[in-house]
Amino acid sequence: MKLFHIIFFSIIFFSCEKPVDIKLNSLSTQLVVEGYIQQDYPAYVFLTKSESYFNSVDSNTLNNISVDDALVFVEREDGIIHKLTNINQNLLDSLGLMDTLGLPLNGLYIDLSYNYDNFSQIGYKYKLIVEWNGETIWANTSIPPQYPVDSVWVKRKDSLESDYKCYIWARINDPDTLGNSAIIHYKRDVGWKPIDPLFIPCAIPARTDNLVNGENFEAMFARSGKFRDEDGVLLPFYADRVVDGEFSRRDIVILRLSHVDQSTYKFWRSAGRMQDANGNPFSEPMNLSSNIQGGLGIWGGYGVSYYYIPIVVDTTIYDTYNNVSLSEIF
């Protein structure tokens, strides 16, 4: 009798099914901005167009969404305006130059003014203006003072089985003004060749002083990883080591600490959370923060300090590293 009831109600429910055709509203294309300005270096901006979530992604996607026909300007608060130049292969070929940046050139605009270093300075506010397809979008940012770091050192990870795994630590004097925030990146090589061609966000790259306002505190920096890695999400840097009978040289790390305003901090914090939640069905949906008026993305000012750190246990660095070329800031 129970079996009959199950079959009977199954027939009723399934016979009542109707195909539902859900029509999603197509959103208008928006300009997506990823723009940077740091002291003593030229401002640069990547421009792309927004894509539908359901559009297929392939090797031609970057070419299809990049924007190379916009007018891009940066205006400092004292009225000085610099126009950014679209950097593409045609321009490099006309100048007899090769692509030495190691970057995708699609949609890239750089300030090539002869006095860009005097233009990009700590303490100024900067307005980004982009004109494209008859519309104008804009955003404001500033370059904050450099993050107040006393010293940086290398400390062995608490691990008995591998004494060559290390973390980078720093002692920071946080100003007594709530809201000081930083974005931390790193780049590695082994003395003669790069391991990381571009700067990579550290684990927990976006940090603020909500819990340490006005204090002198220690902060740890690690490589970002996945839960499946043996070291968890806090991957170490490597000192000289012999593994399975083979010698490997230590990492040499360029650590980049960027003091940023709240808009820039919120953008990179939300970007990091979205990346961490990618593929997790239980994660809470969230929107990517943006300060672009009329578009999407971020226009951020960065008060940057670099540190050149050979991964040798108990090495302490007090001075910033100033030998960073233009092609190395990316």
Same domain, 191 and 317: yes
- Give SS3 for 94: helix
Asked whether residue 104 is domain-assigned, the answer is: yes
* Structure confidence at residue 197 as a pLDDT band (50, 70, 90): confident
pLDDT of residue 5: 43
Q: Are residues 43 and 133 in the same domain?
A: yes
Residue 117 is inside which H or E element, if any? Answer: helix 116-119
Residue 2, pLDDT score: 41
| Residue 195: domain span | 149-286+302-328
Task: Please indicate, yes or no, whether residues 92 and 230 belong to a single structural domain of this protein.
Answer: no
103: in domain: yes
Predicted confidence at residue 154, as pLDDT, reads 96
Q: For residue range 205-252, what is the model confidence (pLDDT) as tens digits? A: 999 999 999 999 999 999 987 655 566 678 999 999 888 888 888 999
Confidence of residue 14 (pLDDT cuts 50, 70, 90): very low
In a domain, 190, yes or no: yes
Is residue 91 predicted with pLDDT exceeding 60?
A: yes
Pairing of strands 149-156, 316-317: antiparallel
Q: What is the enclosing helix (H) or strand (E) of 82?
A: strand 81-87
Whole-angstrom Cα distance, residue 29 to residue 10? 45
138 with 153, same domain? no
**Residue 200 sits in the same domain as residue 322:** yes
What the block records as the tokens of 327 is 């092609």
Residue pLDDT, tens place only, 57-80: 555 666 788 999 999 999 999 999
Residues 132 and 220 in one domain: no
Residues 38 and 97 in one domain: yes
Last residue in a domain, options 90, 121, 142: 142
For residues 119 and 216, membership in a common domain is answered with: no
Burial tier of 168 (Cβ tally within 10 Å: 0-12, 13-18, 19+): buried
* 3 falls within a domain: no
Q: Are residues 184 and 319 in the same domain?
A: yes
Amino acid at site 139: A
* Residue-level pLDDT at 150: 95
96, 168: one domain = no
Nearest CA-CA partner of 268 in 213, 166, 199: 199
Give tens-digit pLDDT for 147-177.
889 999 999 987 656 789 999 999 999 998 9
In a domain, 297, yes or no: no
**1 found inside a domain:** no
pLDDT at position 56 is 61
18 belongs to a structural domain: no
- Write down which residue in 102, 125, 142 finishes a domain: 142
For 196, the token pair is: 């990381």
Domain count within the chain: 2
Burial class (CB within 10 angstroms; exposed 0-12, middle 13-18, buried 19+) of 318: exposed
In this structure, the answer to whether residues 188 and 121 fall within a common structural domain is no
- Rounded mean pLDDT of the chain? 83
Q: Of 123, 142, 161, which marks where a domain is finished?
A: 142
Regarding whether 309 and 242 lie in a shared domain, the answer is yes
User: Above 80 in pLDDT, residue 104?
Assistant: no
Over residues 85-98, mean pLDDT: 67
CA distances from 238 to 81, 119, 205, 224 (A): 45, 39, 20, 14
Residue given tokens 């130059």 in the structure block? 97
The reply to whether 48 falls in a domain is yes
Domain CATH number, residue 44? 2.60.40
Q: Is the pLDDT of residue 24 over 70?
A: no
pTM: 0.83
**Rounded CA separation 277/155 (Å):** 30
